[in-house]
Amino acid sequence: MDSKLPDGFVSLQKAYTLEGQFVNIMGVVVDYLPITQSRGTDYTCTCVIHDPSWVNASSVEPGIRVRMFQQLESSLPRVHGVGDIVVFRNMKKDTRFGLIGLSNRSTEAIVFPADSIPVPELKDAIAGRRQLLSHQASPQGCRPPTLAEQLYAIALHALEPPGASPLFPSSYPSASASTTRASQASKAIPFIKNNKFALIKDIGPKQYVDLVGEVVKFYPGMGEIDIYITDYTENRLLYLYQTPEELSKGDGRDGDVYNYTSNQPMKKWQGPFGQMTLPVRLWYPHSDWARGNIQEGDFVFLRNVHMKYSQNEKLEGALHQDLKFPDQVDVRKLAANDGRIGEIKKRKADYERRHGASSGGGARKMPLSKKEKKKAQKAKLEEKKASINELEVTKIKAPIKNQYVRCAHPDTRISSISSIIENPYLENKAPNGIETKLPFVNAKYRARVRVVDFWPPKLEDFSRSLNDTAYNDTICDTNDDESHQSDPQVTKSWEWAFCLLVEDATTPSSTKEPQARLNLLVAQDDAVHLLKMDATDLRKDSQSLVKLKEKLFVLWGNLQELKSSGAALPPASSADKGLSSQPFECCIQEYGVPTPVVDGSESDDADTKWQRMHRMFQTTMI
């Protein structure tokens, strides 16, 4: 089977790196939106395509999202479903709307419906030019598919067959809405070749299934996360959660499937009761994404969950890292208008009618103790304060965003700087009840910030030499005066390393309250991605220094001029002192750096302490 790309085409992984260039690409459809009318007079369609090269760590999407515009609806390609093979000629990579390819007047599109593509064994008729693959070409006048394009479409179809459900839950009907029981699997399932959607009532051990459900419990750990989901269907292989009446008749426990709280005071299970709740353990990278985006009460989509028995012989799920695509996140929060949420809510309403409950909780409300009453009153008061604050915030005009700065993960909600600094997961409670304060958490955020200061104070020091022992304890062998083009393995002798002091910009800077601030490290490849410049010796390279100043002016306005003039920087809000820095959105990564501390002893067995760090990543200027 010939899986070679046609001449003039590039892989999706390569296309991702070609900013602003025209490319020819092919891929299998893993998600799509039907043709709709844009805000103007044009019609538009969107699809996400994938190929075997797509292992991009900077996007949570399973491929490149392509959007086309045409004045006539008939001039747009019509995707029939997930699994179709699509050819795009003269497509331009653009990041104005996220990770996306945009059409232009010269763009051509060809769709090969999945059900019309033969297996590789029957490709001879195509290879001999006796037959043309069934296809739809657009716009009018589009060149027919070449032989190489048809053969590659057959190869892609064989590598990534149709029948896979869309990886992005959406509001339009799709194959993933089927309730067909997932087929069993004894090994990890490759990307795209996932089993079909299954209800909890249909699942069993040794299966890999796609699930949709409501999160009823959320237990974060230091690395992995345990979530408990339900779709309000019953499965006799699950743990039996007893009602308060049933518990009062015997020694029933509160239903900790993992037996983490066997020595702890029992907590009342709030429902649903019976065998409707499935525990699923999320491992990296799914846990990192879920920690900042999922909470109890959300409806989620989980892809490729491994079903197995727990130590207590009860059914549970595990979502491990994909070995082929290690940075792929297979957890999504469903949109409020997703049709699958409606189905779950119908079953939930039936459950509540049967149990006489007003929510997913117990069969009837139990009398509250004094402590519980006090806690409920406090929660009600805090909820009232939060609603008042939310109303006040909505009255304030949202800050203008810097249109020249873009960041990845647009589907991730914005975190305030104060919530990042005071991350509740720093307070960790072990299964034995012991509470500890963690020095840091491995987490990623998306924030809206403005720059109010920077370090080092001189831009010439923003790049550091790897031959400088004060900066790098591993000396680089390169020499700036020698050419190393013949040896691609030689390490560059300069790299970016500077810090930005940013303040929260989720509210306008005109507010009088001081905004939370955070130091962000910008270094190495993350800085190259931000500046679109390689690091050099800025004290000798005056041209690069001027270019850097122009770039940073876009990022922080007149901040450098204020510092150079000796003006005091704003102590509370960047609206003071005439600072013109505009807010922008960026991705922030939190991690820890080990710092050996000897405590006055010369012993080699010194304790290691951790320094909490925050770093900007996957953010760029256009």
Rounded to 5°, the CA angle 171-175-180 comes to 125
Residue 457 predicted with pLDDT over 50: yes
Return d(Cα 87, Cα 404) in angstroms, integer.
Answer: 31
> Quick one: pLDDT band at residue 220, thresholds 50, 70, 90?
confident
> Quick one: pLDDT band at residue 26, thresholds 50, 70, 90?
very high
> Quick one: pLDDT band at residue 577, thresholds 50, 70, 90?
low
Q: 405-425 burial, b if ≥16 CB within 10 A, otherwise e?
A: bbbbbeebeebbbebbeebeb
* Cβ atoms of 155 and 120 closer than 8 Å: yes
Q: Which residue has the higher pLDDT, 12 or 393?
A: 12
Predicted local confidence at residue 478, as pLDDT: 46
> Quick one: pLDDT band at residue 258, thresholds 50, 70, 90?
very low
Return d(Cα 160, Cα 296) in angstroms, integer.
Answer: 35
Residue 589 predicted with pLDDT over 90: yes
Chain segment 79-128, per-residue pLDDT in tens: 888 888 999 998 887 655 445 667 777 789 999 988 788 877 666 656 55
For the ranges 183-187, 356-360, 498-502, the lowest mean pLDDT is seen at 183-187
Predicted local confidence at residue 122, as pLDDT: 65
Return d(Cα 204, Cα 183) in angstroms, integer.
Answer: 10
Residue 412 predicted with pLDDT over 50: yes
For the ranges 35-44, 72-81, 509-518, the lowest mean pLDDT is seen at 509-518
Domains 12-159 and 405-621 share a fold: yes
Please provide the CATH number assigned to the domain covering 405-621: 2.40.50.140
Return d(Cα 224, Cα 285) in angstroms, integer.
Answer: 9
For the ranges 230-244, 467-481, 509-523, 534-548, the lowest mean pLDDT is seen at 467-481
* Cβ atoms of 399 and 448 closer than 8 Å: yes
Provide the β-strand partners of residue 208. 306
Half-sphere exposure of 292 (CA within 13 A, CB side): 27
Chain segment 260-274, per-residue pLDDT in tens: 444 444 456 778 999
* Cβ atoms of 188 and 323 closer than 8 Å: yes
Residue 565 predicted with pLDDT over 80: no
Dig out the tokens for 123 from the structure: 């490709």
For the ranges 83-92, 125-134, 483-492, the lowest mean pLDDT is seen at 483-492
Residue 183 predicted with pLDDT over 60: no
| Three-state SS at 201 | helix
Helix (H) or strand (E) holding 526: helix 524-531
Please provide the CATH number assigned to the domain covering 175-355: 2.40.50.140
Average pLDDT rounded to a whole number, residues 64-83: 85
Helix (H) or strand (E) holding 611: strand 607-617
Predicted local confidence at residue 365, as pLDDT: 45
Return d(Cα 418, Cα 422) in angstroms, integer.
Answer: 6
* In the chain, domain spans: 12-159, 175-355, 367-396, 405-621
Predicted local confidence at residue 101, as pLDDT: 67
Predicted local confidence at residue 428, as pLDDT: 78
Predicted local confidence at residue 259, as pLDDT: 45
- DSSP letter at 570 equals P
For the ranges 294-298, 340-344, 346-350, 472-476, the lowest mean pLDDT is seen at 472-476
DSSP assignments along 125-142, one per residue: HHHTTS-----EEESTTP
Chain segment 535-544, per-residue pLDDT in tens: 999 999 999 9
**What amino acid is encoded at 259 in this protein?**
N
Residue 487 predicted with pLDDT over 50: no
Predicted local confidence at residue 367, as pLDDT: 53
Contacts of 59 (CB under 8 A, 6+ apart): 16, 99, 408, 409
DSSP assignments along 539-559, one per residue: TT-HHHHHHHHHHHHHHHTTH
Average pLDDT rounded to a whole number, residues 26-47: 82
Nearest residue to 521 (alpha-carbon basis) of 460, 572, 466, 592: 592
**DSSP helix, strand, coil percent of the chain (3-state; round to 5):** 20, 30, 50
Q: Which CATH superfamily is domain 12-159 in?
A: Nucleic acid-binding proteins (2.40.50.140)
Q: Which residue has the higher pLDDT, 578 or 617?
A: 617
